[in-house]
């Protein structure tokens, strides 16, 4: 019989709803399933890491989310970050581009180049990456609704620069199901959206086999109100839906699964976060091996970018965000992430300044150079607490996934707005808990310093209407200079292939090479697919 | 005795996809007893004015997180006035830097609730203004 040493302590639950004991021992670990799912780094089930030597061989890639104004502005910021030691790029597009609209569309008014860079045609993509070595610096495109077009533009740009597309590495976010849950840059209804994701995976598997066409995002689901275990469970359900879509087309699992990647969030309890990633790695490997019959280790790897933490940052006492960011980076390193990006301390209220972005980079570099985070793989492995929590959280993730599957599956749940409703109800409870003080948030409901704080001169990213007009003028010049007949023919093929049910990527690639615009190509697809209508459900 | 329930049209303007905050506010307003018509994402100024008119809104509320609030409100103001909704309460919440508040007020957005506003403060303000 186990003796509870602290019967009088009030219970403490983590965000995923699991009770946390004041002490963990070998008995607790055994009761949770022991070390059956542990293994060694680089070996199935990869709980301890997907590579044997982890950061000893190569530290994580540093990839701050960046982009604003036009392609030339963004190119300059890219080069600044690379000069400061950044090892990858994470591209922010403006909302018109993300929603498949050209800069001169009436709906784009006031939004061109505001929260990311404006892209109308291949010409802008050429400028954005000019002078950047695409073999040394891998590029991640944060684009979803318009992902097929942006992948085509990126591959076309690389090909024009003389790179062998078959060897080109890089990532597109291209996770449309989570856009319906949170983030909201959807364009087409759910079904054709799924088809487009399938088209990109299939096309890349055949033509750009090193390229990662999808990065499944638990990140934004968490931002929308999901718990850490829901974040992983929903992401896995979504990844499985994409896998099913391409397997249905006859593509063997080992031909594409190795290029699926993930994007996860970090904020909140340190140990819950580390356990989340370790649990997720083991669970994903098990799913791919046992449910999908994957045989290549790469197909079972949970490759991930982890960091961000936007939901944890506060507009109050923004300097605290520098400290929060440092802890989030530590968590990411302790969790064995392949790539790291941190939200900047000023990101709770503006597009990050150059200064804030450099500080985020330095935060990661400090961990590598001074703090010993790259010395050994999975440094928390073997802790009674972390291992027990890892087991418990994996069980919880499996339970949530089974619940989703039993209730119509993730695609249907998203299409009906049910996941959205669930996470939004949780976000509401969380906000109420913060306001009541039940959930402690430093600078908001405790340790406020209203009187002491001077009226701060906050630096905001300037938005310039003239830049938007310049972008529209540049687009007009490209339009005037291109071969109109070739454009018309390429665009006609896009809608024809959409109607015929063919893989759309070859037609899209042809269209972008003719300098057809994001908006024009999207419009061809809309003719066939229609537009998404958001189910408003509370 | 029977007060008419306060009717709020809460809209997400423009291309901004950040709806977590808006949905949280909708829930808080419903718990406060308001009738809330949430428009969903991607609303144009024309759509907001039309919905506000059709729904007989007492309150027209916007939630903007991406910095496009001024350009949107400048276009929305004449449309709301044209629709005869100038006497309704216009409020806006979200990522609204302090230096923009004066212009928002001048554009008719009397209630301004930047991020970190308390839910009860928003609901209490509306109750005090409408009843």
Cα(B122)–Cα(B31) distance, integer angstroms: 12
According to DSSP, the residues that pair with A90 across neighbouring strands are A65, A140
Give the DSSP per-residue string, A486-528.
HHHHHHHHHHHHHHHT--SHHHHHHHHHTT--HHHHHHHHHHH
Written as one string, the DSSP assignment of A315-334 is SSSTTHHHHHHHHHHHHHHH
Q: How confident is the model at residue A502 (pLDDT cuts 50, 70, 90)?
A: very high
* Mean pLDDT of the region A509-538: 97
Q: Kindly state whether residue B69 falls inside one of the protein's structural domains.
A: yes
Quick one: closest CA in A to B23, which residue? A424
ipTM associated with this complex: 0.96
Provide the number of structural domains found in chain A: 1
Segment 90-109 of chain A within 8 Å of chain B by CB: 95-96, 98-99, 101, 107-109
Judge whether B2 lies within some domain: no
Q: What is the mean pLDDT of residues B100-112?
A: 98
Minimum CA–CA partner of A434 in chain B: B118
Show the domain range for A170. Answer: 47-436
Rounded CA separation A149/A140 (Å): 14
Is the Cβ pair B15, A182 closer than 8 Å? no
Any domain includes B1: no
pLDDT confidence band for A462 (50 / 70 / 90): confident
A216 CA to chain B: closest CA distance, Å?
18
Interface of B with A (CB under 8 A): 14-20, 23-24, 26-28, 30, 38-42, 44, 66-68, 70-72, 75, 95, 97-99, 114-116, 118-120
What's the pLDDT tens digit per position in A363-399? 999 999 999 999 999 999 999 999 999 999 999 999 9
Stretch B24-46: mean pLDDT, rounded? Answer: 98
For chain A, give percent helix, strand, coil, nearest 5.
Answer: 50, 10, 40
Share of chain A above pLDDT 70, in %: 97
pLDDT digits (tens, 9 = 90+) for B52-65: 999 999 999 999 99
Q: Does the distance separating the beta carbons of A349 and B17 come in below 8 Å?
A: no
Condensed to tens digits (0 to 9), the pLDDT of residues A132-180 reads: 999 999 999 999 999 999 999 999 999 999 999 999 999 999 999 999 9
Looking at residue A452, what is its pLDDT? Answer: 54
Instruction: Please give the residue of chain A at the shortest CA–CA distance from B38.
Output: A536
* A238: in domain: yes
At residue A1, does pLDDT exceed 50?
no
Q: Which of A311-320, B57-66, B74-83 is the least confident region?
A: A311-320
pLDDT of residue A519: 98
pLDDT score at B3: 63
Cα A142 from Cα A128, distance rounded (Å): 14
Does the pLDDT at position A127 exceed 90?
A: yes
Residue of B nearest to A349 (CA): B95
Q: Report helix angle A418-436 to B119-130, nearest 10.
A: 90
Chain position carrying tokens 């057809």: A516
Answer yes or no: is pLDDT of A5 > 60: no
Q: Which residues of A touch B23 (CB under 8 A)?
A: 424, 427-428, 538
CB atoms within 10 A of CB A452: 6
Residues of B in contact with A98 (CB under 8 A): 15
Domain count, chain B: 1
Summarize chain B as % helix, strand, coil (round to 5).
45, 20, 35
CATH of the domain at A151: 3.20.20.240
CB A118 within 8 A of CB A105: no
Q: Is A348 on the interface with B (CB under 8 A)?
A: yes
Could you tell me the residue range of the domain that residue B86 belongs to?
A: 7-130
Question: Does B53 fall in a domain?
Answer: yes
Rounded Cα gap, residues A91 and A89, in angstroms? 6
Query: What is the spatial order of strands in the sheet that A88-92 belongs to?
Result: A65-66, A88-92, A138-142, A170-172, A211-212
pLDDT value of residue A464: 82
SS3 assignment, position A480: helix
The interface residues of chain A toward chain B in range 35-54, judged by CB-CB distance below 8 A, are none
Binary contact (B41, A184; C-beta < 8 A): yes
Contact B97 A109 (CB under 8 A): no
- pLDDT digit string, tens, across residues A55-96: 999 999 999 999 999 999 999 999 999 999 999 999 999 999
pLDDT at A509 over 70: yes
Q: From start to end of A231-303, where are the E strands? A: 260-265
Say yes or no for a CB contact (<8 Å) between A424 and B75: no
DSSP A22-55: S---HHHHHHTTTTTTT--TTSTT-TT-SSSSGG
B46: distance to nearest CA of chain A, Å?
11
- Per-residue HEC secondary structure of A145-212 comes to CCHHHHHHHHHHHHHHCCCCHHHCCEEECCCHHHHHHCCCCCCCCHHHHHHHHHHHHHHHHHHCCCEE
Q: Would residue B32 count as lying in a domain? A: yes
Q: Which chain A residue shows the shortest CA-CA distance from B47?
A: A107
Of A330-339, A355-364, A458-467, the one with minimum mean pLDDT is: A458-467
CB of A120 less than 8 A from some CB of B: no
Residue of B nearest to A432 (CA): B119
Distance CA A22, CA A8 (A): 11
Å between B38 CA and nearest CA of chain A: 8
- Residue A211 belongs to some domain of the structure: yes
- Tell which phi-psi region holds residue A14, choosing left (phi > 0), alpha (psi between -120 and 50) or beta: beta
Query: Cα angle at A239 between A237 and A242, to 5 degrees?
Result: 110
CA distances from B131 to B4, B8, B59 (A): 9, 13, 11
Judge whether A491 lies within some domain: no
- Tokens read off for A395: 């069980």
Give the DSSP H/E element, type plus range, for residue A287: none
For tokens 């009187």, what's the residue?
A451
Contacts of B71 in chain A (CB under 8 A): 109-110
Which residue out of B8, B15, B123 would a mutagenesis test of the A interface target, given it has the greatest number of A Cβ atoms within 10 Å? B15
* Percent of chain A at pLDDT exceeding 90: 91
pLDDT > 80? residue A313 = yes
* For residues B84-94, average pLDDT: 98
Q: What CATH number is given to the structural domain containing B115? A: 3.40.50.280
Residue A457 in domain: no
What is the pLDDT at residue A350? Answer: 83
What is the average pLDDT across A240-264? 98
Residues 442-501 of A with CB under 8 A from B: 444, 458, 460, 463
At residue A451, the pLDDT reads 58
Average pLDDT (A352-368) is 95
Does any domain span residue B39? yes
CA nearest A50: which of A251, A337, A310, A252? Answer: A337
> Which tops the pLDDT comparison, A363 or B2?
A363
- Mean pLDDT along residues B71-77: 97
Q: Which residue of B has its CA nearest to A431?
A: B24
Mean pLDDT of chain A: 95
In total, chain B counts a number of residues equal to 131
């Amino acid at each position: 019989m186990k003796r509870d040493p602290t019967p009088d302590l009030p219970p403490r639950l983590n965000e995923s709803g699991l009770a946390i004991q004041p002490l963990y021992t070998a008995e607790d670990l055994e009761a949770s399933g022991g070390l059956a799912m542990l293994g060694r780094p680089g070996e199935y089930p990869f709980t301890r890491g997907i590579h044997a030597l982890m950061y000893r061989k190569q530290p994580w890639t540093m990839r701050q989310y960046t982009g604003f104004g036009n392609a030339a502005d963004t190119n300059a910021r890219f080069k600044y970050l690379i000069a400061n030691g950044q090892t990858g790029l994470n591209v922010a597009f403006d909302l018109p581009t993300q929603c498949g609209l050209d800069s001169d569309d009436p709906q784009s008014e006031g939004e061109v180049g505001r929260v990311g860079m404006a892209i109308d045609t291949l010409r802008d993509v050429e400028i954005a990456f000019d002078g950047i070595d695409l073999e040394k610096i891998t590029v991640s495109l944060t684009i979803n609704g318009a992902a097929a077009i942006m992948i085509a533009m990126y591959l076309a740009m690389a090909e024009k620069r003389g790179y062998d597309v078959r060897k080109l590495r890089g990532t597109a976010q291209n996770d449309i199901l989570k856009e319906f849950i949170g983030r909201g840059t959807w364009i087409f209804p759910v079904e054709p959206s799924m088809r487009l994701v399938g088209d990109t995976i299939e096309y890349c598997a055949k033509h750009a086999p090193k390229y990662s066409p999808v990065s499944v995002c638990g990140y934004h689901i968490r931002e929308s109100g999901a718990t850490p275990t829901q974040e992983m469970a929903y992401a896995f359900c979504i990844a499985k839906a994409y896998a099913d879509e391409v397997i249905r087309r006859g593509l063997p699992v080992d031909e594409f699964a190795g290029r699926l990647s993930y994007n996860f969030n970090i904020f909140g309890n340190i140990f819950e976060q580390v356990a989340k990633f370790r649990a997720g790695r083991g669970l994903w490997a098990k799913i791919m091996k046992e449910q999908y019959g994957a045989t290549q280790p790469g197909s079972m790897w949970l490759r991930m970018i982890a960091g961000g933490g936007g939901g944890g940052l506060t507009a109050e006492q923004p300097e605290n965000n520098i400290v929060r960011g440092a802890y989030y980076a530590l968590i990411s390193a302790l969790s064995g992430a392949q790539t790291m990006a941190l939200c900047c301390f000023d990101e709770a209220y503006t597009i990050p300044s150059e200064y804030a972005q450099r500080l985020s980079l330095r935060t990661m570099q400090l961990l590598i150079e001074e703090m010993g985070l790259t010395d050994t793989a999975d440094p928390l492995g073997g802790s009674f607490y972390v291992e027990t929590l890892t087991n418990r959280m994996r069980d919880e993730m499996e339970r949530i996934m089974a619940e989703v599957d039993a209730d119509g599956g993730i695609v249907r749940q998203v299409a009906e707005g049910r996941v959205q409703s669930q996470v939004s109800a949780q976000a509401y409870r969380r906000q109420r808990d913060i306001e009541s003080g039940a959930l402690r948030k430093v600078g908001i409901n405790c340790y406020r310093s209203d009187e002491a704080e001077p009226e701060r001169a906050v630096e905001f990213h300037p938005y310039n209407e003239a830049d938007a007009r310049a972008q529209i003028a540049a687009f007009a010049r490209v339009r005037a200079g291109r071969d109109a007949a070739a454009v018309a023919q390429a665009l006609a093929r896009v809608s024809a292939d959409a109607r015929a049910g063919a893989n759309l990527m070859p037609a899209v690639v042809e269209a972008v090479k003719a300098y057809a615009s994001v908006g024009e190509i999207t419009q061809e697809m809309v003719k066939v697919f229609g537009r998404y209508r958001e189910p408003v459900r509370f | 005795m029977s007060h008419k329930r306060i009717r709020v049209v809460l809209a997400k303007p423009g291309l901004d996809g950040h709806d977590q905050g808006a949905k949280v506010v909708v829930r808080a307003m419903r718990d406060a007893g308001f009738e809330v018509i949430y428009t969903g994402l991607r609303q144009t100024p024309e759509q907001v004015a039309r919905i506000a008119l059709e729904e007989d809104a007492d309150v027209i509320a916007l939630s903007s997180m991406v910095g496009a609030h001024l350009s949107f409100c400048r276009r929305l103001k004449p449309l709301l006035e044209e629709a005869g909704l100038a006497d309704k309460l216009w409020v806006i919440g979200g990522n609204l830097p302090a230096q923009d508040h004066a212009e928002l007020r001048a554009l008719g957005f009397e209630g301004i609730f930047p991020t970190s506003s308390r839910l009860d403060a928003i609901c209490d303000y509306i109750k005090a203004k409408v009843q």
